Structures are given as structure tokens and as C-alpha cells.
A = this chain, B = another copy of it.
Amino acid sequence: MASEFDIIRRYFTRPVKRALLGVGDDCALIAPEPDTLLALSTDMLVEGRHFLAGADAVKLGHKSLAVNLSDLAAMGAAPRYATLALSLPDADETWLAQFTRGVFKLADTFDVELVGGDITRGPRNISITVLGAVPPELALRRDGAKVGDEVWLSGCTGDAALALAHLNAQVRLTDAALAHCLARLHTPVPCIALGLALRGLASSAIDVSDGLVADLGHIGERSGVALELRYAALPRSRAIQACADERLAQECLLAGGDDYELVFTASPDARGRVASVAADLGLALTRIGAVSAGEPGLVSVRDTDGELMALERKGFDHFR
């Protein structure tokens, strides 16, 4: 059987690019970039919680890195380095080859260098830490939203949650809709280019991982503002449009999570620049609401009649 060190050599070690020292020493060594802050984020994915036993290993490798890169996108940071800690029930080399293929393919797409990590035996668990670079003053923090700002969303929310609803037999999607939603669930693409384009433009940003309303709540709390969404303004994918169960569609749109879109605030003066970013990147950016002076962190949603909607569920919480 392959040893821990064989595995590291065979599947995780590649020549260094930007780093001064990569996998294989006590630490990796990286050089600071002048006039640049390091953005640092960690996410952990657990079997049975974030992914099912038997999940496609290539896609799992992709997603494990993607959800971390999404945090860099939400900060307006350019990806640089990653470390990967992995707990595995066995040294299944087919799985390792597929998993690392998924990781490295996405890493190459976004020019991320894997510089270190750890591998151990135990219940399957993937913990990735990413480092990115962002000029001072241009980071897209959560605490910059101002009353009067408008709320924007990239792409649309709900597809990943709709895929899960199908898998849980809550809804029956067409083959085409299912394929689309499963791709959104298993191989999300982090909005790196959008994050970079929003530097100096968005007043705050977050990636939609727990659910749109919950994540906007984090912006509200940190910025000391309330936010109001217009339900009718929320963009809908074809799969969500085709969903006959409007209550399910609503829950997916507002509280589904696992979307990895960016939701951000910007001054009304910035509308033209936001439209230019959308055109330049070929992305849909939709104005879905506004920042108001209500209770900090409160996110309310109004229906087409302007009435407040009651939300049963706002987002995902691992301990509730």
C-alpha cells in the first residue's frame, strides 16, 4: 500500500511556481507582494454533510477548492496559494487521482498554487485554506454598505438547492433542468473575475453560500444597516421558472445556499459602471433591492404588492 509520503509525492507535489518553497518541508515559504494585502480564508467539507459518500471525486476536488476561491472572490482578491488538509478512510489511489485532478484543474484555471497541507486517516474531510492578494483600500469587505446603496446579485440563486430538492424527491425536474442544476450544485465556478472588477465599485460584498437572505444579513450586521429585497426582481433560472411549486422556488431563491454567486451593494451613482462590468464579463448583474436604515442585519423581502413576505427559512446553519 502507498505510504503517506508516497501519496504526497505522487498526487500533491508539483514544481513551485510563485512560491519560494512548496509541498515537502515543514512550511511553505511565500514572498510578500509590495502594496498588497493577503486575504486568507478556510473552509471545511465533511462527508455526509457537504457531500454524499460516493460523490464523484473529480467534482468533489473541484468544489472543495471552488467554495474557498469564492471567499476570495467576495473579497475582491486575486487567488495565489492554497493548502489542503485531507482525512481519508483509506489510501484509495483511484479516488486520490480523481480528487487531485479536480483540485488541480480548477487551481490552474485560477492560477492558484497548492503549497502545503496534511493527509491523515479518518472520516472523509477536506479542509482548504486559500490566500489571495488585494490592494489595500480595495478589499470588498462586508462592513461598507451604506443607507441608500443598491443591492446587486450576479447570475441567479436557487439552482443548487433545487437539485438537492430533486435528489430528495421534493420535486421532479426535467433531465435538462436536472443536469443544469446538478452542475450548479457540484461544480460551482467562483466569481473571481467579478470580484476583481468590483474593486473600488462595490461598497460591500459576500458570496452566497448559506442562502441569499442569510448572507445579506451578514452584510447588514457588519455594516449596521437593514436591507430590503424586491422578490419580483430576483432573477430566475429556467429551472426555477419551470418549478411548479412556488413555495419551493421561493425557498430555493431566498434561502437555498450553495450558489457561490456574489451579492454586493453599490451606490446608485455606480449603476452605469456596474452595467459596464456586466457587459465586459458577459455576466448578468441584477439590481434586487436597497440598503435602508432599519434594524442592523434585518433583511426583508417585499412581494409585488409591496407587502412584507414571511420567510420560513433564511439560510443554512450547521448547528440549528
Using a CB–CB cutoff of 8 Å, the interface residues on chain A facing chain B are 1-5, 7, 20-21, 24-34, 36-50, 71-72, 74-75, 77, 81, 83-87, 90-91, 115-123, 125, 127, 129, 131-132, 134, 136, 139-143, 205-207, 222, 317-320
In the complex, which residues of chain B have a beta carbon less than 8 angstroms from the beta carbon of A206? 26
**28 interchain pairs, CB-CB under 8 A:** A1-B320, A3-B319, A4-B320, A7-B319, A21-B141, A25-B142, A26-B74, A27-B74, A27-B139, A28-B41, A29-B37, A29-B139, A30-B37, A32-B32, A32-B37, A32-B38, A40-B81, A42-B116, A43-B118, A44-B85, A46-B122, A46-B125, A47-B122, A49-B122, A50-B120, A85-B127, A87-B125, A118-B127
Copy total for this chain: 2
- CB-CB nearest 10 A-B residue pairs: A32-B32, A46-B122, A127-B127, A27-B39, A44-B85, A26-B74, A123-B123, A91-B319, A42-B83, A129-B129
Query: In the complex the two chains form, is B117's CB within 8 Å of A42's CB?
Result: yes
Take A26-B74, A32-B36, A123-B123 as given contacts and tell me if A2 and B319 are in contact as well, using a CB distance cutoff of 8 Å. Answer: yes
In the complex, which residues of chain B have a beta carbon less than 8 angstroms from the beta carbon of A115? 40
In the complex, which residues of chain B have a beta carbon less than 8 angstroms from the beta carbon of A132? 27
In the complex, which residues of chain B have a beta carbon less than 8 angstroms from the beta carbon of A117? 42
Query: In the complex the two chains form, is B125's CB within 8 Å of A44's CB?
Result: yes
